[in-house]
Homo-oligomer: A and B are copies of this chain.
Amino acid sequence: MPLLDVCFSPELIHLYDLKGRVVVVVDILRATSSMVTGLAHGLEKIIPVSTLAECQQFASKGYLTAAERDGKKAEDFDLGNSPFSYMEDFVKGKTLAMTTTNGTHAIRLSLAADKVVVGAFLNVSSVAAYLVEQQKDVLVVCAGWKGKFNLEDTLFAGALAHKLQGLFESENDATLAAYHLYETAKSDLPLYLSKASHVQRLKNLNITKDITFCLQQDVYDIVPVLEGDYLVPYTPESVKSVV
């Protein structure tokens, strides 16, 4: 049975051997939720980049650009980090260069893995279906907040552990913790997360609507998969056959 493990911070990635694994990068509020939303709404591909300067260079090449720092849209970019802006018509068929405080950084740190995909509550069942398809060891990498543990990414890992129960070996401490926290929180995720640090931070920025959206499960059926430099949408066969 393949292994399911969870890394609670990008600062701990060096403790894991990524070779042969699928890494699922998660940054629920809001980078990976926005990525899933954009690719589900017709965005063709996303280039995750680490720095604002790097992102700006793509603007001069005619790409769409998205940049967020400390929860706010950085100036002089087309998009910020609100999933709603990723639903707009003008994203269709475009390529987007994107940088965020935590999420895109976590993707760059995961490049040694066999496959890197992007997860959110919005596509959690499709991520689970993809992982079942792959039959490889899995590491969920929580983007966290500036290196620290965060609850919403951990709860995503827990939701995934619930979906993969019996199919993946999950008896390691981080996965057990995520599993049990999700069990406590699942009946009302928004309420449970109302005390979480990043939720408080975002509430101060008046984006309750974004938070509510990002905590919905299975709104989209695509999994963003990293191919070369680009995240592209993929729909697992088992999900396709259902639709």
From A146, which residue of chain B is reached at the shortest CB distance?
B15
Taking a contact as CB atoms under 8 Å apart, the answer to whether B11 and A15 are in contact is yes
Contact (Cβ within 8 A) A154 B177: yes
Tell me whether A15 and B197 are in contact in the complex, defined as CB-CB below 8 angstroms, given that A181-B180, A183-B184 are known contacts.
Answer: no
Q: Quick check: B12 and A148 within 8 Å, CB to CB?
A: yes
Q: Which residue of B lies closest to A196 (CB)?
A: B173
Does B195 lie within 8 Å of A148, measured CB to CB? no
- The closest CB in chain B to the CB of A171 belongs to B195
Q: Which residue of B15, B146, B181 is within 8 Å of A148 (Cβ)?
A: B15
CA distance A94 to B75 in the complex (A): 64
Given A8-B8, A180-B184, A184-B183, CB of A174 within 8 Å of CB of B149: yes
Q: Scoring A residues 91 to 106 as 1 if CB is less than 8 Å from chain B, else 0, what string do you get?
A: 0000000000000000
Interface residues on A, range: 20 to 34
Quick check: is A176 within 8 A (CB to CB) of the other chain? Answer: yes
Give the CA-CA distance A202 to B172 in the complex, in Å.
14
With A154-B177, A177-B151 as known contacts, state yes or no: A197 contacts B184, CB within 8 Å.
no
The verdict on A56 contacting chain B, using a C-beta distance below 8 Å, is: no
Give the CA-CA distance A200 to B173 in the complex, in Å.
11
**Interface presence of A9 (CB below 8 A):** yes
* Contact flags A149-181 to B (C-beta < 8 A → 1, else 0): 111001000000000000000011110110011
Contact of A20 with B by CB under 8 A: no
Minimum distance in angstroms from A154 CB to a CB of chain B: 7
30 examples of A-B residue contacts, CB within 8 angstroms: A9-B9, A9-B12, A11-B11, A11-B12, A12-B12, A12-B147, A15-B148, A145-B173, A148-B173, A148-B174, A149-B174, A149-B177, A150-B173, A151-B173, A151-B176, A154-B173, A154-B177, A171-B197, A171-B200, A173-B196, A173-B197, A173-B198, A176-B196, A177-B177, A177-B181, A180-B180, A180-B184, A181-B181, A183-B184, A184-B184
